[in-house]
Amino acid sequence: MIAEASPYPAAEAAPARAPRPPVPRRRWPRPVGLIIPALLLVAWGLATDVWHVFQPNQLPPIRQVWAALVQLLGDGDYARHMSASLARVGLGFALGAGTALVVGVLVGLSRGLERLLDPTLQALRSVPSLAWVPFLLLWLGIDEAPKITLVAIGAFFPVYVNLVTGIRQVDRKLIEVGAIFGLSRVALVRRMFLPAARPFALTGLRIGLGQAWLFLVAAELIASTRGLGFMLIDGQNNLRPDIMVVGILSLAGLGKLTDGLLRRIERRWLVWTDTYGGM
């Protein structure tokens, strides 16, 4: 028998699609981050010197703030306040973050410890910073100990929460593969859990450092005679908004510098990751 020809034309094979080239990452120049601060300075100058939207006792002009900074530098008060705040944040952050790393690893690895400790820690995390001040004064006195302890409290919880979350996000298949290859529990923690949780821990450290600077102002309300937080309160009590602005800008600058340092460490320690970096 002769096969009848099909009345329909044979479908042509679709041409193979060429792989799309990767979208090139746009390289933004580094000074682009200075655009917003520059615009804010221009708006500040226009609002205080040209349009007179604010009175000097509400928002001092830039020249007045600069004169106050020069005066503080000349008297040595600025260096005294700056060194006191840096020491408190450094010690408090080291104490709080170090404790959070240890507790976070233990709670993240142990379901029993999580049930024992996590409910209490989550409840304490909701307590405002100022609520701790009177008790720390009663327990630790009026020296440096309550100030450093309050900063440590602020740094503890972000590091703890992020580290526990990072450990619990480890892929179960990785743990099974490690067990198949005969890795001990210590080796699993060292080679599986901790590297996988490192991005979460570094994010927690950055947030914890920011919280440490926030808690610093509350800490320096505790019978303090030096520090950037004290400088803010002293400027308020003496009706010196220029000194208050110097304190605010100093806290913002120090926070940005310390966060930039942690970001450099983060990029170096996470060089092995292949993550989306933006367009």
DSSP string for residues in the chain: -PPPPPSSPPPPPPPPPPPPPPPPPP---GGGGGHHHHHHHHHHHIIIIIS--S-TTTS--HHHHHHHHHHHHHHTHHHHHHHHHHHHHHHHHHHHHHHHHHHHHHHHH-HHHHHHHHHHHHHHHTS-HHHHHHHHHHHH-SSHHHHHHHHHHHHHHHHHHHHHHHHHTS-HHHHHHHHHTT--HHHHIIIIIHHHHHHHHHHHHHHHHHHHHHHHHHHTTSS-SSSHHHHHHHHHHTT-HHHHHHHHHHHHHHHHHHHHHHHHHHHHHTTT-------
CA distance 75 to 70: 9
Residue 123 is assigned to a structural domain of this protein: yes
Residue 42 is assigned to a structural domain of this protein: no
What would the pLDDT profile of 103-118 be if each residue is shown by its tens digit? 999 999 999 999 999 9
Q: Which domain holds residue 239?
A: 60-268
CATH number at 201 reads 1.10.3720.10
What would the pLDDT profile of 111-161 be if each residue is shown by its tens digit? 999 999 999 999 999 999 889 989 998 999 888 999 999 999 999 999 999
CA distance 194 to 169: 11
Residue 7 is assigned to a structural domain of this protein: no
What would the pLDDT profile of 41-71 be if each residue is shown by its tens digit? 999 999 999 999 999 999 999 999 999 999 9
Q: What is the pTM of this model?
A: 0.87
Report the pLDDT averaged over residues 252-273.
92
Q: Residue written as tokens 């080796």?
A: 187
Residue 55 is assigned to a structural domain of this protein: no
Is the model's pLDDT at 1 over the cut of 50? no
Residue 41 is assigned to a structural domain of this protein: no
Residue 39 is assigned to a structural domain of this protein: no
Report the pLDDT averaged over residues 1-21.
54
User: Would you state the pLDDT for residue 181?
Assistant: 87
Report the pLDDT averaged over residues 173-188.
88
Q: How confident is the model at residue 261 (pLDDT cuts 50, 70, 90)?
A: very high
Tally of domains in the chain: 1
Nearest one of 70, 60, 43, 96 to 209, comparing CA atoms = 96
Residue 13 is assigned to a structural domain of this protein: no
User: Would you state the pLDDT for residue 275?
Assistant: 78
Between 244 and 185, name the one with better pLDDT. Answer: 244
Residue 18 is assigned to a structural domain of this protein: no
Is the model's pLDDT at 9 over the cut of 90? no
